[in-house]
């Protein structure tokens, strides 16, 4: 029987596991994941604000694999031998495959600066969220570093929670302007929201050193903190480089728009960990991994049947809704921007629907 090995329980693999419940294939499937839970980042800000309980933002992987007839191995892959078709895990498991699919997400960029590894809180891999949130909830002087969507949402969420508790807003630091890739109008809107909520926002300053209680910026500022959340964008997992697989300039696994590695067509990849040759500028976002899921499923089946597969083509615009605290959301779509409770309700509905699709009631 064909052996299909899945690395990581990312968005696209959740879809694969669900599809395996709906369509029986003559295939022996194993999933390797280091955590029993897959956490959904779209709901992290709501969790940090206290709007969701942890059970509402995570999927229990052993329940899902059991319902899908998949073997589950708790572990993290550390090396891939594409010629021999084997994967090594950090626990020493050696797993052979006929087809390998990788959806292991990304890590956090920029933590090479002195002190960051020791003192900064990092969410990725995503199962760290509970521990990170606990530390931030108990902080007196929390600081968020990173002016992208994730950093802005988390800073606003924590500020909202602190407001309910009568505590002061958080500090947000960004080396660039806030949401630098968004339209000017959207940037202005977010700037006003941050200002109205009372956050201290420091832009165009790079944190260059972190001691146990001080963040030192390139502009010579010393900022006191007791917990710092580091959200400065994605970084490629090391495994592809060390396994000598084809990678792009940043170390992400290079795949074709069929989501296959050209040199090793039995290897598929989706989500943050992959870089598509035809679309090198594609952002790293969960919504992309979700869109790739159906292509991945179709192309793995096509590979097994020796037929040609589908090609992934990204949308030119994606809907994004930033939770801005107190159940309001900033909806951004092209030139449209709406800051309203209804935007938050829409986000809440989309996110809950996503989680519900993969939740299983199977008991052991
Ligand atoms: C605070 C925050 C908020 C965000 N909000 C949004 C949002 O609203 N919308 C959006 O589109 N994007 C959002 N993102 C980005 C989003 O989180 C990522 O783009 C998305 O999670 C990538 O999905 P993925 O399927 O590639 O991998 P992930 O969802 O990261 O899943 C990867 C899985 O692989 C596992 N894994 C990791 N390493 C290994 C290994 N070596 N072996 C086996 N398994 C492994 C991990 O434990 C995890 O289960 C946000 C990011 C952050 C930090």
Q: What is the pLDDT of residues 309-339, one digit of tens each?
A: 999 999 988 899 999 999 999 999 988 999 9
Residues 347, 274 within the same domain: no
- Total tally of structural domains belonging to the chain: 2
Distance (Å, whole) CA 235 – CA 103: 14
Q: What is the CATH number of the domain that holds 327?
A: 3.50.50.100
Report pLDDT for 360.
61
pLDDT tens string 284-297: 999 999 999 999 99
Report pLDDT for 219.
87
Q: For ligand 1, atom 27, name the residue with the nearest CA.
A: 105
pLDDT tens string 130-145: 999 999 999 999 999 9
Compute the distance from residue 64 Cα to the ligand 1 centre, in Å: 18
% residues pLDDT > 70 (the chain): 99
Residues of the chain with pLDDT under 50: 361-364
From the CB of 102, is ligand 1 less than 6 Å away? no
* DSSP 8-state secondary structure symbol assigned to residue 171: E
Report pLDDT for 364.
37
The pLDDT mean for the chain works out to 95
Report pLDDT for 363.
38
- Looking at the CA of residue 322, tell me the nearest atom of ligand 1: 8
Residues 266, 337 within the same domain: no
Domain that holds residue 10: 2-34+75-106+236-304
Give one DSSP letter per residue of 56-124, joined into a string: HHEEEHHHHHHHHT-EEEES-EEEEETTTTEEEETT--EEE-SEEEE----EETTTTSTTHHHHEE--T
Residues 134, 167 within the same domain: yes
Residues 125, 184 within the same domain: yes
From the CB of 103, is ligand 1 less than 6 Å away? yes
């Amino acid at each position: 029987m064909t052996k299909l090995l899945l690395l990581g329980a990312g968005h696209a693999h959740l879809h694969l596991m669900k599809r395996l419940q709906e369509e029986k294939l003559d295939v022996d499937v194993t999933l390797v994941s280091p955590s029993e839970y897959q956490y959904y980042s779209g709901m992290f800000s709501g969790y940090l604000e206290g709007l969701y309980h942890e059970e509402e933002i995570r999927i229990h992987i052993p329940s899902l694999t059991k319902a899908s007839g998949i073997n589950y191995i708790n572990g993290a892959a550390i090396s891939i031998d594409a010629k021999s078709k084997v994967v090594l895990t950090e626990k020493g498991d050696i797993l052979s495959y006929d087809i390998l699919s990788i959806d292991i997400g990304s890590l956090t960029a920029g933590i090479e600066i002195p002190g960051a590894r020791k003192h900064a809180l990092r969410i990725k891999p995503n199962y760290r969220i509970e521990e990170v949130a606990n530390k931030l909830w108990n902080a007196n002087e929390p600081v968020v570093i990173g002016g992208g969507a994730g950093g802005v949402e988390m800073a606003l969420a924590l500020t909202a929670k602190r407001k309910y508790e009568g505590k002061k807003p958080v500090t947000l630091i960004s080396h660039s302007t806030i949401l630098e890739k968004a339209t000017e109008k959207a940037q202005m809107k977010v700037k006003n929201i941050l200002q109205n909520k009372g956050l201290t926002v420091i832009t165009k300053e790079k944190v260059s050193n972190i001691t146990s209680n001080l963040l030192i910026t390139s502009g010579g500022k010393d900022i006191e903190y007791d917990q710092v959340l580091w959200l400065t964008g994605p970084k490629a997992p090391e495994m592809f480089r060390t396994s000598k697989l084809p990678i792009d300039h940043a170390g992400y696994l290079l795949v074709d728009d069929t989501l296959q590695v050209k040199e090793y067509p039995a290897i598929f990849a989706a989500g943050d960990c992959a870089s598509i040759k035809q679309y090198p500028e594609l952002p790293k976002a969960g919504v992309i991994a979700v869109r790739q899921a159906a292509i991945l499923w179709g192309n793995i089946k096509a590979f097994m049947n020796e037929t040609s597969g589908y090609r992934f083509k990204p949308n030119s615009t994606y809907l994004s809704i930033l939770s801005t605290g107190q159940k309001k959301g900033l909806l951004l779509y092209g030139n449209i921007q709406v800051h309203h409770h209804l935007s938050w309700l829409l986000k809440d509905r989309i996110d809950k629907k996503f989680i519900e699709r993969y939740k299983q009631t199977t008991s052991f």
